[in-house]
Structure 1
């Protein structure tokens, strides 16, 4: 009944909290609930489990405020890669999933009010002057406050928190002994802090040490000794002082390790061999180690029979022998990425096809000795393949993709970049065989034209994501077929100079669920405005037929727009930019030349404006 609070009268706290728990941690939903009444505010504060903090005016102040308001936090994510872009009270971010600003009235002139005003002023200055001012960084004092307030902490992510040292990390280790996930990417912590984590956090499962330049073998060895039996995921990159000694300790003390990511020029065969022999549960292995040779990869094939994901980047010291060993021993392999592996040939893919019949995802990038016969073997022997990416594969021809079309009926995503020998016959083969295709990205494949794309439109009715960048032979007829046969959500045709308004109008009329679009003119804008009300992202850069009139019509119809790129559009003026900024309430980013932004627009919407070219 109107005027009666039936929910608060009938439902106990426990049931309301259970309802809150079904919000999946969405900040917007939690904030909305907390604003209903004081009781729901109290229950929301006690039931929150996750907070996220971006770069802010003073993250230490934010940390102290958080521990006073939320008492049962288990997950804290801090990311200082981004500069301050909005005037935020108390340094809080307004992005989804981040902690809610504090509420409550304060007396004018009080100490708290003056403090908040000072912080707010600092943020506003940072926003107005752009990214020239570096935001303050979280310090050991702020980290200690989090440790004392959030003793139930299970996940802690400190991304590029450059002022955090071993002192702060030690306080986390000593007071948050339930810690399971620790991300120290870009933090200059030392060995003492990592050793303390190993000593105190016996439940640690996931550790990311990418770009932790202050660490050496001493810290990682101590951690492996302390909590190695619980560790399941380890990532190391650009740590010059971490060598094979650390990996030997991991191999000896981390028998349940499942995921290992290594990017280092100092890791050699000995370290990878130790991990392969000592970690039989390994499922994911990502290596970018230029000093590793066939010996190490052959050990992986011999000992890691549970391996499911293998990524090899920039390997120049191993040959087909490595992949043959993987094919013989890793029968459960599902994902394979080969990038810039110059000495691999078709024999490698043939070995994978023969031994790893469960393969679902394959990416071949810049492996110039892999050609048609290798991919044909995949098409014949891997019927479960669902994703295929071929980048800079000049020796792979049409018959390879035709074989994939015949044998891989479950294929859903294809990405082709600079494959000069692939043309319409290959795309037709895919279209006729892979009717469940949902994503097709083609870039700079100059032999692909209307014939192949028309076949896609006629046969692949589930296609939702299409990119045809710089495919000069694709014209309006192709898009007309796509508009008739597919319900696209994403379309990118930048650099396709034969596509005009006719093709884009067909897309607008046939794809009402479109949310991303690139490259069109005023007539197409009118049709998009009428036919695609769900559009969120649009790229208009280098569109010489776009004017302020087209933009005005677009924003009046597409209320969901969140980003708009319109650089180098000669007939778009400052008035058109102002129309886009003021007419789209959900707008988050507008990329434009600085000279086309009026002072008034800059004052009103500086936080959403981005400039590709500052001075033109």
Structure 2
């Protein structure tokens, strides 16, 4: 019986073999699709060539373009709006940034946009913003200016409640992102948060064997990853915060803000100062604002931070006897007291105070100096100073000012806004300083030109620098001399 074989279907000429390297668009059965794709590709190449002709900056490499943009004056923000390439290059050039939105850092967008940051200010971003208040009230502080809301005016005594501050988890997440994205960070300003007692982290030991806690925070991540960090400003600081930054081995400039009236009330005690001293031994400049402590904390800083040259105490809450700890600062050259309500309530016997041997400059700004015992202890410890400055100090009378006679090496004296000091009190001390070379007296209304004696005038004649404007009235009279103004009405307004 004859066999029947059905005819085979003709093979598709557009079907490539299975092992073909032909692109996917050749797999279609419609030849028109192939023609459309080829036409689209040719048109795309023509558009790209036309774009290259119109944008001549594409002929420059990224390195050359970055060199050109770096020569432009600041700010360079408009350069980043040209195109994505210019935005990327501009971001790589920016090294200093002041952030206002914390979410920009917390989501990782800041470090990807600006990968080469070395100076970051996060203080404004650490305080949550509220919609524009109908009250029209604005809080202006030395570090921040923010609008106030009705929820901020509570009975706790702080204008910024818990609702305006970051939670610890959000702060740690943002600082971790900053530490990973900007390892070359050199300067940082940030506001820490208060943490519950049960969130103190696990125990750890430093290289010197000091036991502490809190290695699992954002600040500790900054200390571990940003090895080039040299300057740090930490607000709302506590002993817990100082433990976290104790591993910043290369830190040289540190500003610690503990309690700030109207904003927050945190506590920095001897425990935190001792932890800081054992960890950050390369400190050159230290500023303590609103910090508590005593002789133990100051002496620990002096003994461990042997490179410390400048120490500033602003509105301190130190216990009595802290001045004696200054004798441990073997390399201290400048001491500044700002807005201090008291100098030292109980300095102790004079024989236990000691002397700071290398101190050259002493500044008192907006301080209450009425305490004779505290001022006597201060001048005793600072007996080697060569520059002495008083600015807007309360209670600087002749008796208090005369205590400075124990400082016999004074070469420069500056007095500003000291309204209780008289000409006689100034003269008695100036004549005792044989090495005085510079004198500056401004806005001291009790010091009169007519009371200057010949002996005091002879001292003025040998000074290298003299700025004498004690009485604002005399300055006004000198400026109006010869103009015909400032006289009586009958002589000035002539009748026609």
TM-score normalised over the length of structure 1: 0.50
Work out whether residues 227 and 248 of structure 2, in 8 Å CA contact, stay in contact via their aligned partners in 1.
yes
Listed one character per residue, the Cα deviations across residues 370-400 of structure 1 (whole Å, up to 9, x for unaligned) are 3212334688875534x54446x6x433336
* More helix by percentage: 1
CA contact (8 A) 2:327 2:381 kept: no
What residue number does 1:514 align with?
Answer: none
Question: Is 2:259 the partner of 1:195?
Answer: no
Q: Does 1:186 align with 2:233?
A: no
Which of 309, 316, 333 lines up with 1:264 in the alignment? 316
Seen in structure 2, the aligned counterparts of structure 1 residues 46 and 327 have a Cα distance that, compared at 3 Å, is closer
Map of 2:344 onto structure 1: 291
Q: Which of 56, 63, 69 is the matching residue for 2:113?
A: 69
With over 3 angstroms needed to count, the CA separation of the structure-2 counterparts of 1:371 and 1:319, relative to structure 1, is farther
Distance 1:326 1:401 in 2: 32
The equivalent position to 1:347 in structure 2, one of 388, 392, 402, is: 402
Displacement, 1:347? 2.3
1:44 offset after TM fit, Å? 1.6
Report matched runs for 1:368-407 at 5 Å.
368=420, 370-376=421-427, 382=436, 384-385=438-439, 388-390=441-443, 395-399=446-450
Mapped to 1, the partners of 2:319 and 2:362 lie a distance apart of 20
In our comparison, the structure showing a higher alpha carbon Rg is: 2
Structure 1 residues 214 and 293, CA, compared in 2 at 3 Å: closer, same or farther? closer
Q: Per-residue deviation at 1:232?
A: 1.4
Q: Write the distance in 2 (CA, Å) between the matches of 1:334 and 1:264.
A: 20
Query: Counterpart in 1 of 2:277?
Result: 224
Confirm or deny that 1:211 pairs with 2:261. Answer: no
Number of residues paired by the alignment?
371
SS of residue paired to 2:175? helix
Task: Name which of 28, 35, 39 aligns with 2:81.
Answer: 35
Report Cα offsets for 1:29-59 as digits up to 9, x if no partner: 22133334544322221121111123x4xx1
RMSD: 4.4
Distance in 2 (CA, whole Å) between partners of 1:79 and 1:451 is 46
| Aligned match of 2:477 | 451
1:329 aligns with 2:384: yes
| Aligned pairs (5 A) from 1:51-450 | 51-54=97-100, 56=101, 59-64=102-107, 65-80=109-124, 84=129, 131-132=149-150, 136-138=164-166, 139-159=171-191, 167-187=217-237, 189-191=238-240, 193-198=241-246, 200-211=247-258, 213-228=266-281, 230-240=282-292, 242-262=293-313, 263-269=315-321, 271-286=322-337, 288=340, 289-292=342-345, 302-311=355-364, 313-315=367-369, 316-318=371-373, 321=376, 325=380, 329-331=384-386, 333=387, 335-337=389-391, 339-341=393-395, 344-348=399-403, 355-359=409-413, 361-365=414-418, 368=420, 370-376=421-427, 382=436, 384-385=438-439, 388-390=441-443, 395-399=446-450, 422=471, 424=473, 426-427=474-475
Greater relative CO (CA pairs within 8 A, separation 6+): 2
CA displacement 1:492-525 (0-9 Å, x = unmatched): xxxxxx9xxx9xxxxxxxxxxxxxxxxxxxxxxx
Shift of the 327–172 alpha-carbon distance from structure 1 to 2, 3 Å rule, reads closer
Q: Distance in 1 between matches of 2:179 and 2:251?
A: 16
Q: Which runs of 5+ in 1 are unaligned?
A: 88-125, 417-421, 428-449, 459-475, 480-497, 503-616
CA-CA distance at 1:211 after TM superposition: 2.0
User: CA 1:185–1:322 in structure 2 vs 1: closer, same or farther (change >3 Å)?
Assistant: same
1:48 aligns to 2:112 (yes or no): no
Whole-Å separation in 1 of the counterparts to 2:151 and 2:104:
19
Q: Per the alignment, do residues 10 and 378 of structure 1 end up closer, same or farther by CA in structure 2, a change over 3 Å counting?
A: farther
- CA gap of 1:74–1:7, structure 2 versus 1, over 3 A, is same
Equivalent pair of 1:291/1:317 in contact (CA under 8 Å): no
Note closer, same or farther for the CA distance 1:133–1:248 as it changes in structure 2 (3 Å cut). Answer: same
> Structure 1: how far apart are the matches of 2:239 and 2:384?
38
Name the SS for the 1:215 alignment partner: coil
Aligned CA distance change for structure 1 residues 342 and 249 (closer, same or farther; 3 Å)? same
In 2, Cα distance between equivalents of 1:204 and 1:330:
27
What is the DSSP-based 3-state SS (H/G/I as helix, E as strand, rest coil) of the residue aligned with 2:287? strand
1: CA distance, partners of 2:304 / 2:382: 28
CA contact (8 A) 1:454 1:478 kept: yes
Q: Helix, strand or coil for the counterpart of 2:188?
A: strand
* 2:142 match: none
TM-score, L = length of structure 2: 0.61
Do the aligned partners of residues 216 and 328 (structure 1) sit closer, same or farther apart at CA in structure 2, a change above 3 Å counting? closer
> What are structure 2's unaligned runs of at least 5 residues?
1-52, 133-145, 153-162, 200-213, 260-265
